[in-house]
A and B are shown apart, each in its own frame.
Chain A
Amino acid sequence: MINKIKVERAILDITQEDLAEKIGVSRQTINSIEKNRYVPSTILALKLAKVFNKNVNELFELEGNE
């Protein structure tokens, strides 16, 4: 699973800390999501999509044989 969180965050010009605060998680969790070390739950994915005003499909993408 790859995601465009970092790109979208750069467009909105917000820090990992700001984003973490908006969706109620820790900054480390945002960092892990951006580095594809952690795949968030549907609820968290929807919260992220709401912050960036995008569909979940636009933020997250399956890769390879997933």
Chain B
Amino acid sequence: MNVEKILECEREQLQKINFLPYLFKKIGFGLLIISLISLVSLTFLDNSSVLIKNISKSVLLISLLLISISMEKNEDEYTMQLRARSYVLAFIFGIVYAILQPYINYVVALILKKESADFEELSSFVIIWFMLFIQLGFYYTLRRTR
């Protein structure tokens, strides 16, 4: 395979995004409910395992990702455009959130405690969760108001 063919192949693959079938959206919602129930129950358990909590968090992120990248029943070019717009908005909001939120948390902690507070970076879970949540929120709002 020569260089031109490789470039052509890359161009085709990059321009063509294949989303998952609608069935995966249902699976995503199922996993979302299971992970939410699991996380809520773990907060009430005193001796909850860190591993189980982390697995529940990962399942939550996977479920939101499945919902995000699954096609609708009646997917067409307009819904694809709305989806693309929601990804752009989630990307921008996610970056702004990741930059600003630690400072906001720090200032709020200073005000409430009225003493020295620790500056803490956001965890990857919080940032990814926020971005997926924002993407789905914008997508369904755009779809509803189209």
- Decide: A25 and B76 in contact? CB cutoff 8 A: yes
Proximity string of chain A (38-53) to chain B, C-beta cutoff 8 Å, 1 when within and 0 when not:
1011011000000000
Known pairs A28-B146, A32-B146; A38 contacts B78 (CB<8 A): yes
Interface size on B, residues (CB 8 A): 7
CB contacts under 8 Å to B, within A19-33, are: 24-26, 28-29, 31-32
Could you say which residues of chain A place their CB within 8 Å of the CB of B79?
A: 26, 29
Interface check B115, CB cutoff 8 A: no
- Decide: A41 and B77 in contact? CB cutoff 8 A: yes
Interface check B49, CB cutoff 8 A: no
- Decide: A38 and B76 in contact? CB cutoff 8 A: no
Interface check B47, CB cutoff 8 A: no
CB contacts under 8 Å to A, within B37-84, are: 74, 76-79, 81
Interface residue ranges, B against A (CB under 8 Å): 74, 76-79, 81, 146
Interface check A4, CB cutoff 8 A: no
Interface check A37, CB cutoff 8 A: yes
Interface residue ranges, A against B (CB under 8 Å): 24-26, 28-29, 31-32, 37-38, 40-41, 43-44
Known pairs A28-B146, A32-B146; A40 contacts B74 (CB<8 A): no
Could you say which residues of chain A place their CB within 8 Å of the CB of B74?
A: 25-26
The 8 Å CB contact of B77, one of A28, A31, A37, A40, is A40
Which of B76, B77, B78 gathers most chain A CB within 10 Å?
A: B78
- Decide: B76 and A32 in contact? CB cutoff 8 A: no
10 sample A-B contacts, Cβ–Cβ < 8 Å, listed by A number: A25-B74, A25-B78, A26-B76, A26-B78, A29-B76, A29-B77, A29-B79, A38-B81, A40-B77, A40-B78
Could you say which residues of chain B place their CB within 8 Å of the CB of A41?
A: 77
